[in-house]
Amino acid sequence: MNLFQAVTSALDNSLAKDPTAVIFGEDVAFGGVFRCTVGLRDKYGKDRVFNTPLCEQGIVGFGIGIAVTGATAIAEIQFADYIFPAFDQIVNEAAKYRYRSGDLFNCGSLTIRSPWGCVGHGGLYHSQCPEAFFAHCPGIKVVIPRSPFQAKGLLLSCIEDKNPCIFFEPKILYRAAVEQVPVEPYTIPLSQAEVIQEGSDITLVAWGTQVHVIREVALMAREKLGVSCEIIDLRTIIPWDVDTVCKSVIKTGRLLISHEAPLTGGFASEISSTVQEECFLNLEAPISRVCGYDTPFPHIFEPFYIPDKWKCYDALRKMINY
Amino acid sequence: MAAAVSAASVWRQSLAQAALLLLRRPGVRGLARSGRISFYMTNYGEEGTHVGSAAALDSTDLVFGQYREAGVLMYRDYPLELFMAQCYGNMSDPGKGRQMPVHYGCKERHFVTISSPLATQIPQAVGAAYAAKRANANRIVICYFGEGAASEGDAHAGFNFAATLECPIIFFCRNNGYAISTPTYEQYRGDGIAARGPGYGIMSIRVDGNDVFAVYNATKEARRRAVAENQPFLIEAMTYRIGHHSTSDDSSAYRSVDEVNYWDKQDHPISRLRHYLVSHGWWDEDQEKTWRKQSRKMVMEAFAQAERKLKPNPNLLFSDVYQEMPAQLRKQQESLAQHLQTYGEHYPLDHFDK
């Protein structure tokens, strides 16, 4: 399956298993602008897979209300770039529902899915990676898969998780990434990073599409520099797996974190800060962050903007020679 | 005929009790002004909207409120002890002391916990109604908000979703004349909130919010039709906020004493109900005196009790952020515990449960 088919499969499994589960958002009825919901309305009915009016704050607020009654709400925000009208409902309401009510009420059965990340031509409003805005919000979980197999397992975990979750789907991978994905349901644990390749000289951390970039960088490092890289896919942004990352840095002594989102205030800053607190004496070089520039996401300049393998390789080289 | 009379007498009893209890909640505002609780919001003048609507609902209908609907919760027999516990944030508060006063919530009475951001409850109420429709629960949702909150984008979102997704919901707008200091002339320029309903395809009605029977009848009919037809209804109840916005407000800064007195003396929902009861021989001056004295005593006792109680254990600062406590948060909890071991004398630990 490709990534969007893996998403469809996860949604199909959810609606089959849980009679309260519903999917809603803009244009989901005909199958969705990225085809993630194709076939589901025909299979499960128009009361379970339906379009909403064009209003993100309404979509999320409505989804919270469904979840408050205990039913499973799977909301789609058409592009992560458009999630901001719903920011109040997510941060002030969904994230705080259980805490502020003393656990009398919660919206744990809410999952928000949204296409995320650069796509080659998306520009300012079809390329954004807003995970850092939500990382600062206790009470929600933010999850980003790197592949179809990961996407299905992580999405199913989000849907089953008893806390409101945001699931960002790397849109550039929807069709491009293809792998074997089981048709039956399965879950991948949240808040667990995955060491996808072991190594000894430097730890590389990324999530989503960027995991594939650092994979290539690891190959380049081995061939050109004889350097052995340990690659970690963070997978859950919050609550994040501090232990796996720190354990790796204690071993390697070097850390490079890379994400498309702008450098300042990006999630690499949180990782960097925590790692230097926990692993200060193990560090052989300053922690390196290879990220997007502090600009809106440009259209024609995308090839220069993104933290590509050359920028990551160059940062790695400097760290090794520090 | 006999049945009608006895129904009426049950009706008048519950209304009278609820309404008068609300009227004479002596000095909760005074408590805030004297610093014994941090903050309070009264409901003076709007009791008819609370009791009239609450009486027309089933007890399992889900209520989403704004913050000035305590009478709805009171109508559902929420004990004084728990109202006070929430205001004091003491260890009896089911909300675990997490929020400012008047942010009540009660799962058993189907009253969703109040939050401060305005109008956020509106699209949420719509989602809950959609789920109730799917569950075939013979249950509706009622969503209260003020005419000020109705200006928020979430109100527009909620109305539109309710209509397009055919949700069994009553939108109940308390138009009380002010949003803090902002009068309705500065809040909207159209014909109030009821006139917006048809723009969304929502059947709407404007009622005299200080006529408890009008409120009851409108809500009753809206409920009947919402269940039967799976569509939303909008009720705009015209009333007046006799009290200040909150204990942080002094409304003499923006309105005249004469204006407030008019509503307090000439068009008060409790006075109007009392005149009605008296004129039917179902209430009198002696019962009034006795009930006022009794309710004042109940309230003062509840205060004293609530004030004496300890606050919840500080560990409850850390729970319920997620269903399970994340590792990093547990570390922070441990670090506070350690900090208090060394610096505990600088913290009000004596007032908190151990």
Give per-residue pLDDT as tens, B287-315. 999 999 999 999 999 999 999 999 999 99
**Catalytic annotation, pick one of A56, A76, A160, A230:** A56
Whether B321 and A88 lie within 8 Å, measured CB to CB: no
- Annotation says A56 is catalytic: yes
For B:73-102, CB contacts with A below 8 A are 93-99
- Which residue of B112, B164, B320, B335 to mutate against A (max A Cβ within 10 Å)? B320
Q: What is the pTM of this model?
A: 0.96
pLDDT in tens, B195-218: 999 999 999 999 999 999 999 999
How far, in whole angstroms, is CA A251 from its chain's centroid? Answer: 26
How close, in Å, is residue B157 to chain A by CA atoms? Answer: 5
Whether B127 and A73 lie within 8 Å, measured CB to CB: yes
Q: How far apart are CA B222 and CA B218, in angstroms?
A: 6
Is residue A277 within 8 A of residue B332, CB to CB? The reply is: no
Instruction: In chain A, count H helices and then E strands.
Output: 13, 12
For B:144-163, CB contacts with A below 8 A are 153-154, 156-158, 160-161
Q: Is the pLDDT of residue B23 over 60?
A: no
Q: How far apart are CA A17 and CA A185, in angstroms?
A: 10
Q: Is the pLDDT of residue B29 over 90?
A: no
> Which residues of chain A fall below pLDDT 70?
none
For residues B84-89, give the mean pLDDT. Answer: 96
- Cβ-Cβ contacts under 8 Å for B65 (sequence gap 6 or more): B72, B111, B112, B114, B121, B144
- The partner residues of A197 in beta bridges, in order of sequence, read A231
ipTM: 0.97
Q: How many residues does chain A have?
A: 322
Is residue A230 within 8 A of residue A199, CB to CB? The reply is: yes
Is residue A208 within 8 A of residue A168, CB to CB? The reply is: yes
Q: How far apart are CA B120 and CA B141, in angstroms?
A: 15
B contacts of A100 (beta carbons < 8 Å)? 95, 98-99, 103, 113, 115
**Side chain identity at residue B62, one-letter code:** L
Whether A69 and B131 lie within 8 Å, measured CB to CB: yes
Q: How is residue B350 annotated by DSSP?
A: G
Place B19 in a pLDDT band, splitting at 50, 70 and 90: low
For residues B74-95, give the mean pLDDT. Answer: 96
Whether B115 and A108 lie within 8 Å, measured CB to CB: no
Q: Is the peptide bond before A239 cis (omega within 30 degrees of 0)?
A: yes
Whether B127 and A62 lie within 8 Å, measured CB to CB: yes
Q: Is the pLDDT of residue B24 over 80?
A: no
Place B21 in a pLDDT band, splitting at 50, 70 and 90: low
Cβ count near B284 (within 10 Å): 12
Pairing type for strands A194-197 and A229-233 reads: antiparallel
B contacts of A60 (beta carbons < 8 Å)? 123
Q: How far apart are CA B101 and CA B84, in angstroms?
A: 9
Whether B115 and A105 lie within 8 Å, measured CB to CB: no
Is residue A159 within 8 A of residue A16, CB to CB? The reply is: no
What is the phi-psi region of residue A301: left when phi exceeds 0, alpha when psi lies from -120 to 50, beta otherwise?
Answer: alpha
- Annotation says A216 is catalytic: no
Q: How far apart are CA B8 and CA A47, in angstroms?
A: 42
Measuring CA to CA, how many Å separate B140 from each of A205, A249, B69, B315?
49, 55, 18, 37
For A:97-156, CB contacts with B below 8 A are 97-106, 108, 138-139, 141
- Cβ-Cβ contacts under 8 Å for B311 (sequence gap 6 or more): B89, B90, B91, B97, B351, B352, B353
Whether B158 and A71 lie within 8 Å, measured CB to CB: no
B contacts of A96 (beta carbons < 8 Å)? 115
How far, in whole angstroms, is CA B261 from its chain's centroid? Answer: 23
Residue (of A253, A252, A248, A254) closest to A232 by Cα position: A248
Measuring CA to CA, how many Å separate B13 from each of B16, B21, B214?
5, 12, 18
By Cβ distance, the residue of A55, A71, A138 closest to B157 is A55
CA nearest B159 in A: which residue?
A58
Residues of chain B above pLDDT 90, percent: 88
Whether A61 and B157 lie within 8 Å, measured CB to CB: yes
Place B8 in a pLDDT band, splitting at 50, 70 and 90: low
Whether B129 and A65 lie within 8 Å, measured CB to CB: yes
Q: How far apart are CA B137 and CA A29, in angstroms?
A: 25
pLDDT in tens, B309-329: 999 999 999 999 999 999 999
Please report the pLDDT score of residue B182 as a whole number: 98
Whether B105 and A73 lie within 8 Å, measured CB to CB: no
CA nearest A51 in B: which residue?
B165
- Cβ-Cβ contacts under 8 Å for A173 (sequence gap 6 or more): A2, A3, A146, A147, A148, A208, A209
- Cβ-Cβ contacts under 8 Å for B136 (sequence gap 6 or more): none
By Cβ distance, the residue of B94, B117, B161 closest to A92 is B117
**Catalytic annotation, pick one of A26, A93, A126, A212:** A126
- Cβ-Cβ contacts under 8 Å for B197 (sequence gap 6 or more): B159, B171, B203, B204, B234
Please report the pLDDT score of residue B204 as a whole number: 98
Cβ count near A69 (within 10 Å): 24
By Cβ distance, the residue of B98, B123, B160 closest to A99 is B98
Whether A61 and B107 lie within 8 Å, measured CB to CB: no
Q: How far apart are CA B155 and CA B174, in angstroms?
A: 14
Helix, strand, or coil here: B168?
Answer: coil
Place B43 in a pLDDT band, splitting at 50, 70 and 90: very high
Q: At B159, which helix (H) or strand (E)? A: helix B153-164
Place B5 in a pLDDT band, splitting at 50, 70 and 90: very low
Q: How far apart are CA A187 and CA B128, in angstroms?
A: 28
Is residue A36 within 8 A of residue A170, CB to CB? The reply is: no
Q: How far apart are CA B85 and CA A321, in angstroms?
A: 63
* Alpha-helix runs per DSSP H in chain A: 3-17, 40-44, 56-68, 87-88, 97-100, 131-135, 148-160, 173-176, 210-220, 242-252, 267-279, 302-305, 309-320
Phi, psi dihedrals of residue A305, rounded to the nearest 5°: -75, -45
CA nearest A67 in B: which residue?
B128
CA nearest B94 in A: which residue?
A102
A contacts of B112 (beta carbons < 8 Å)? 68, 101, 105
State chain B's mean pLDDT as an integer. Answer: 93
Q: Is the pLDDT of residue B150 over 50?
A: yes
For residues B327-348, give the mean pLDDT. Answer: 98
For chain B, say whether A96 makes contact (Cβ under 8 Å): yes
* DSSP string over A9-52: HHHHHHHHH-TT-EEEETTTTTT-TTSTTTTHHHHH-TTTEEE-
By Cβ distance, the residue of B132, B321, B328 closest to A69 is B132
A contacts of B97 (beta carbons < 8 Å)? 102
CA nearest B136 in A: which residue?
A20
Place B137 in a pLDDT band, splitting at 50, 70 and 90: confident
Q: At B266, which helix (H) or strand (E)? A: helix B257-266
State chain A's mean pLDDT as an integer. Answer: 98
By Cβ distance, the residue of B97, B160, B320 closest to A58 is B160
Is residue B312 within 8 A of residue B353, CB to CB? The reply is: yes
Please report the pLDDT score of residue B4 as a whole number: 43
